[in-house]
Structure 1
Amino acid sequence: MITPQNVFRHELIGLPVEVIDSNHNDFIGIKGKIIDETRNTITVDTGLDEKQLPKENVTILLTLPGDKKVSIEGKVIIARPEDRIKKKFKKIR
């Protein structure tokens, strides 16, 4: 089960997302569903179009099952999805 403590070790594709902070003002406020993830980017389907966002420049707010929300700084999840799932992270409280 995906929780705020283990979100890094799970698949992000399919989760609702909102960009809450970015170095690039045009990215702030983008909302949608994650439809693809690469080492350096996430692709978000906004309903109108698809936006490709660099992980390094954004802070995202993910909505987990059960309507739990967790914010993640994109720099922390820079890795190929299959490598990130295996990676060890410090515990979050």
Structure 2
Amino acid sequence: MNEKKLNEKKFVKYELIGSEIEIMGSKNKSLVGVRGKISDETKNMFILDDGKKIIKSQCIFKMKINSENIEINGSVLVGRPEDRIKRALK
């Protein structure tokens, strides 16, 4: 698999709902290795298709974006999705 560290400023503009994620690191060790598809996103959480709620700021995620596996710290993603996208466009 092709794995890259994407420029965080570029990454935040993507719509993440529907993306496959895997938790690579977390303050809550029971979450490490959890995988799923993002079905909803709030300011501080991802909600996976199985109903699990994942706090963004406490995790490091691996996501598949544009057929590339990207690893990103969840604290960069904290904020309402619509505000994050607007912020990236400035």
Please, what TM-score do these two structures have when normalized by structure 2? 0.83
Cα distance in 2 between the residues matched to 1:44 and 1:20: 15
Aligned to 2:71: 71
Q: Distance in 2 between matches of 1:62 and 1:71?
A: 6
Structure 1 segments of 4 or more deviating over 4 A? none
Cα root mean square deviation, aligned = 1.5
User: Aligned residues, how many?
Assistant: 82
Partner in structure 1 of residue 86 of structure 2: 86
Alpha carbons 2:21, 2:38 under 8 Å: kept: yes
SS of equivalent residue, structure 1 residue 11: coil
Higher helix share: 2
- The percentage of counterpart residues that share the same residue type is 34
Q: Which has the higher contact order (CA 8 A, sep 6+)?
A: 2
Compute the TM-score of the two structures, normalised by the length of structure 1. Answer: 0.81
- Unpaired segments ≥5 residues, structure 2: 1-5
Q: Give, in angstroms, the shift of residue 65 of structure 1.
A: 2.9
* 1:1-80 alignment, distance < 5 Å: 4-5=6-7, 6-45=10-49, 49-66=50-67, 68-80=68-80
